[in-house]
Structure 1
Amino acid sequence: MSERYVVREAKTKQELDDIMTVIWAANYTPYEPFMQLFFPVLGFTTAHREAAIAESKERFRKQHQADPSSHWFYAFDTVTSKTVGCAQWVISETNPFAAGAPKLTAPWWPEGECRRFCESILNQVYQPRASWMTRPHCALNWMAVDPAHRLRSIGSLLMNVGILRADELDLECWMEASGMGRPLYEKFGFQSLLKLAFDNEKPGASDEWRKCAHEMTPPPIFAMWRPKRTSGVSSRGELSLPWALGMER
Structure 2
Amino acid sequence: MSQQYTLYPLLPHDTPALYPIYSAAFSPTPFYTLVFPPSIPASTMYSWYTRRISLQLQKPQVRGFKIVTAENEIVAFARWNFPYVPDTREKEGEVEGEGDEAQKEEKKEKEETEDDWPPGTNLTLTTAKFGGLDGMREEWVDPTRDYVCALLAVHPTHQRKSLGKRLLQHVLNLADAEGRRVYIEATDAGYPLYKKLGFEQVDVLPIDMRKWGVEGLGSNIIMIREPVLKS
TM-score using structure 1 length: 0.70
Distance 1:181 1:200 in 2: 19
Residue pairs, 1:228-247, within 5 angstroms: 228-229=227-228
Distance 1:117 1:21 in 2: 23
- Give the letter aligned to residue 11 of structure 1: L
Match for residue 43 of structure 1? 39
Cα distance, 1:109–1:54 mapped onto 2, change above 3 Å: closer
2:25 equivalent to 1:63: no
2:7 equivalent to 1:7: yes
Q: Which runs of 5+ in 1 are unaligned?
A: 202-209, 231-249
Match for residue 66 of structure 2? 74
**Deviation of residue 83 (structure 1)?**
0.9
More helix by share: 2
The alignment-based identity, stated in percent, is 20
- Give the letter aligned to residue 62 of structure 2: S
Task: Say which SS state the counterpart of residue 213 (structure 2) adopts.
Answer: helix
**Deviation of residue 59 (structure 1)?**
1.9
Contact kept in structure 2, 1:2 and 1:154, CA below 8 Å: no
RMSD of the TM alignment (CA)?
A: 3.3
Task: Say which SS state the counterpart of residue 166 (structure 2) adopts.
Answer: helix
Distance 2:30 2:151 in 1: 13
What do the CA deviations read for 1:126-163 (whole angstroms, capped 9, x no partner)?
Answer: 22221122361001111111111111111111111111
Cα distance, 1:16–1:109 mapped onto 2, change above 3 Å: closer
Residue pairs, 1:1-249, within 5 angstroms: 4-13=4-13, 15-28=14-27, 30-34=28-32, 37=35, 40=36, 43=39, 48-65=41-58, 67-78=59-70, 80-94=71-85, 106-110=115-119, 114-134=122-142, 136-198=145-207, 213-214=212-213, 219-229=218-228
**Deviation of residue 165 (structure 1)?**
2.0
Match for residue 108 of structure 2? none
Distance 1:129 1:91 in 2: 13
**Deviation of residue 219 (structure 1)?**
1.3
- Give the letter aligned to residue 56 of structure 1: Y
Distance 1:151 1:42 in 2: 27
Contact kept in structure 1, 2:128 and 2:207, CA below 8 Å: no
What do the CA deviations read for 1:185-224 (whole angstroms, capped 9, x no partner)?
Answer: 11211111233212579xxxxxxxx5xx336x96112100
Deviation >3 Å, runs of 4+: 34-37, 103-106
**Deviation of residue 35 (structure 1)?**
6.4
Contact kept in structure 2, 1:73 and 1:87, CA below 8 Å: yes
Distance 1:218 1:199 in 2: 5
Cα distance, 1:200–1:31 mapped onto 2, change above 3 Å: closer
